[in-house]
Amino acid sequence: MSRRLTFDIFRYNPNDPKSRPRTERFTLDETEGMTLFIALNQIRDEQAPSLAFDFVCRAGVCGSCGMLINGRPGLACRTLTAALPDTITLMPLPAFELIADLSVNTGKWMRGMSERLETWVHLEQAPEIDALELAMEPEQAEAIYELDRCIECGCCISACATARMHPEFAGAVGLNKIARFRADPRDRRADPDYYQLVGDDQGVFGCMGLLGCHDLCPKKLPLQTQIAHLRRGMLKSALGKS
């Protein structure tokens, strides 16, 4: 007993002068275990060959298929149509540059953020490539890995009222990266250094604690506690206590 699904999909190609932003409606029969990835491919194959959307891994790993699903950010490849009502509205993630239809340039945004927040390990000295890497406590490695699971899908940015109002806000993805390097003993930076990067209203003090990011992160990263922890650390820095 399969449902007939109705898709209202945002269509607009900014590079085509004739294109106007609009919503197009498609219908198709739901199949067993159908994800939005399967549905979108079927629509593109059978009804709208020009429909633009991004996928790479189809397994919630690459972070390219984020979109607004009935108004809430999520990964299309990890969303079963069975979990959605008969009518499904798909929109591109807001806060990112639109490429076309459902495809947005999260990569450009993430790169800007990474450069600004210097999201790489700052070693004490140049690594000795011949030497054996220093061992790390398994718990410590676990803690870092937990935060490293971020796939840069951008859902936390689109779920954040602060990021929507203030395009220069680093967002949960950026703050989580800082938390990740703060937890890494190989990184020589200390809190006063991190304060230079996120100790302002574009950084951790801009976060209002609405937790859209935490609730909608498809990888279930512990953003709530990480941001709170970072906020306390950065406040200590401001007060000159670290």
Partner 1 sequence: MGSTQRMSNGPNATASPWPGYLDLVQSASGLALGLFMWLHMFFVSSILLGKDAMWTVARLFEGYFFFGRPYPALVSLFVASILLLLMVHAATALRKFPANTRQYLDLWRHTRQLRHGDTSLWLLQVATGFLLFFMASVHLYLMLSHPEQIGPFASADRVWSGRMWPLYLLLLFAVEIHGAVGLYRLALKWGWFAGPDPATTRRRLRRAKWLTSVFFILLGLATLAAYMRIGIEHAPHAGQHYVPAWSGEIE
In whole angstroms, the minimum distance from the beta carbon of 218 to ligand FES comes to 8
Candidates 9, 88, 117, 172: give the one binding ligand SF4 (CB under 6 A).
Answer: 172
Among partner 1, ligand SF4, ligand FES, none, partner that 154 touches (CB below 5 to 8 angstroms by kind): ligand SF4
User: Which residues, including other chains, have CB under 8 Å from residue 149's CB and lie 6 or more apart?
Assistant: 219, 221
CB 100 within 8 A of CB 14: yes
- Give residue for tokens 């947005």: 104
Among positions 56, 82, 123, 208, the unique one binding partner 1 when judged by CB under 8 A: 208
118 touching partner 1, by CB under 8 A: yes
Q: Are 212 and 154 within 8 A, CB to CB?
A: no
Percent helix, strand, coil in the chain (nearest 5)?
Answer: 40, 15, 45
Interface residue with ligand FES, options 24, 60, 231, 242 (CB under 6 A) = 60
**Interaction between residue 219 and ligand SF4 (CB under 6 A):** yes
* Pairwise CA distance, residues 120 & 160, whole Å: 24
Q: Is 75 a residue that touches ligand FES (CB under 6 A)?
A: yes
Look up tokens 């011949």; give the residue.
130
**Residue 37 engages partner 1 in binding (rule: CB under 8 A):** no
Q: Please select the residue that binds ligand SF4; options are 160, 178, 179, 198, rule is CB under 6 A.
A: 160
Among 241, 125, 136, 126, which Cα is nearest to 185's?
A: 136
Angle at 118 between CA 116 and CA 122, to 5 degrees: 160
**Min separation Cβ 63 and ligand SF4, Å:** 6
Cβ pair 210, 152 in contact under 8 A: no
Is the distance from CB of 76 to CB of 40 less than 8 angstroms?
yes
Among 13, 19, 41, 224, binds partner 1 (CB under 8 A): 224
The site for partner 1 (CB under 8 A) is made up of 68, 71-72, 94, 108-109, 111-113, 115-118, 159, 161, 164-171, 195-197, 199-203, 205, 207-212, 215-216, 222, 224-225, 228-229, 231-232, 234-235, 237-240
The site for ligand SF4 (CB under 6 A) is made up of 150-156, 159-160, 162-163, 171-173, 176, 207-213, 217, 219, 221, 227
